[in-house]
Chain A
């Protein structure tokens, strides 16, 4: 257990559905991240939040919409996804944004878009 939980662990959704991924960290960290991990590709950073403010949006399509209501919770709202969005979505947190801080990862949500 890393102190970062994600729900659901598995999700199958159609291209017209709307769903949300949830991440919660119990470590008292101030920064949270969403990553996408596709087969045979390195992890791609999607969004970064620091103290509930978004500081990074790596050209992610608008069908992915993040929300950070407080420093412990992070959501990723999904709508009208494409099959190529099928991947493992990982949430991470760290004490702060400086590169000297370790990131702690959750177990991920395996998303399949049909």
Chain B
């Protein structure tokens, strides 16, 4: 059974700082890994999707990497802004006949102006 861990559970940084969020997983037989953002009381917004054959994906100030052999993914946020404050979740799409996605609990990020 896939288990997903996100550390730290919460993070507070000053505006402008570069930061890294971590996601680790136990089963490397994955189809893809997705990073989401969730604002308080809201749904999830997809940020980046990495297929299992890829090593990283970039979108603007965000860069996500995937290392299946070590069971790790990182989300790098450059030059953080107060608007980046949210909870960030990683989700693993597992191998299988149809889509099964396992989510982490998330890292709550606060960027202080």
Contact in complex: B93, A99 (CB < 8 Å)? yes
Stretch of B11-19, B75-83, B102-110 that contacts chain A: B102-110
How many positions in chain B have a CB within 8 Å of any CB in the partner chain? Answer: 29
Question: How far does the Cβ of B29 sit from chain A's closest Cβ, in whole Å?
Answer: 11
Size band of the A side of the interface? 20 to 34
0/1 interface trace, chain A 78-114, chain B, CB 8 Å (1 if under): 0000000000101010100111111111111010000
Interface majority SS (helix, strand, loop, mixed), chain B: strand
- Residues in B whose Cβ lies below 8 Å from that of A104: 46
Is there a chain B Cβ closer than 8 Å to A72's Cβ? no
Cα of A110 to Cα of B41 in the assembled complex, Å: 8
- Residues in A whose Cβ lies below 8 Å from that of B31: 98-100
Is there a chain A Cβ closer than 8 Å to B58's Cβ? no
Contact in complex: A2, B43 (CB < 8 Å)? yes
Contact in complex: B41, A99 (CB < 8 Å)? no
Contact in complex: B34, A102 (CB < 8 Å)? yes
CB interface residues, B 41-70, toward A, < 8 Å: 41-46, 49, 51
Chain A residues with CB under 8 Å of chain B are 2, 4, 6, 31, 40-43, 45, 48, 50, 55-56, 88, 90, 92, 94, 97-108, 110
